[in-house]
């Protein structure tokens, strides 16, 4: 019988059923190939969708996740599956943004992590949510998240 390797337990490279909820989603981590170097990894999800827990209508956002890895990095396929699982559950903007940040912090123990949730208007008002943990190392360059303030038809 073949011995299981860390790589063989990942969702990467094989068909995976989409998770029914964020709680059911499995986030995978992989070793950081440069744990001696401070650098920023960024994930941008321009079509994040969640469900309003009051109306049941979809909410749309741009999510930007920046982090400085320590020993671990998040595996991107598992992150995509996790983020897409929010489409199936009712969650306020603040709840899903902070939950994502806390779950990544727990999984990765990064040196620094921030998440920006830039939600499109609900009831005529956009809601943007920002969360951060850790201290950004001095020598690390982090670009602006690049999402402009909402201006409507401007």
52 tagged catalytic: yes
Please tell me the predicted confidence (pLDDT) of residue 4. Answer: 47
Domains: count for the chain: 1
- The pLDDT-based confidence of 3 (bands split at 50, 70, 90) is very low
pLDDT at 95 over 70: yes
Rounded to the nearest integer, the mean pLDDT of the chain is 92
How far is residue 113's CA from residue 43's CA, in Å, rounded to a whole number? 11
Task: Answer whether 132's CB lies under 8 Å from 113's CB.
Answer: yes
Whole-number Cα distances in Å, 117 to 2, 23, 34, 71, 144: 43, 19, 28, 26, 14
96 tagged catalytic: no
Give the CATH number, domain containing residue 99. Answer: 3.30.1130.10
pLDDT at 152 over 80: no
Identified catalytic residue from 28, 36, 52, 96 = 52
Q: Residue 48 domain-assigned?
A: yes
Q: Residue 60 domain-assigned?
A: yes
Identified catalytic residue from 28, 59, 66, 96 = 59
pLDDT at 108 over 90: yes
What is the H or E stretch that residue 100 is in?
helix 93-108
pLDDT at 149 over 90: no
């Amino acid at each position: 019988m073949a011995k299981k390797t860390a790589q063989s337990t990942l969702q990467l490279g094989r068909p995976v059923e989409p998770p029914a909820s964020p709680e059911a989603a499995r986030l995978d981590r992989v070793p950081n190939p440069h744990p001696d170097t401070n650098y920023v990894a960024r994930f941008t999800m321009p079509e994040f969708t969640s469900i309003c827990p009051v109306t049941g209508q979809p909410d749309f956002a741009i999510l930007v996740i920046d982090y400085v890895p320590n020993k671990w990095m998040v595996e991107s396929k598992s992150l995509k599956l996790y983020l897409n699982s929010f489409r199936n559950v009712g969650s306020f903007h603040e709840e899903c943004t902070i939950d994502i940040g806390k779950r990544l912090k727990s999984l990765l123990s990064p040196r620094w992590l921030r998440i920006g949730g830039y939600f499109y208007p609900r009831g005529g008002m956009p809601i943007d949510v920002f969360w951060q943990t850790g201290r950004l190392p001095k020598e690390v360059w982090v670009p602006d998240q690049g999402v402009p303030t909402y201006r409507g038809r401007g």
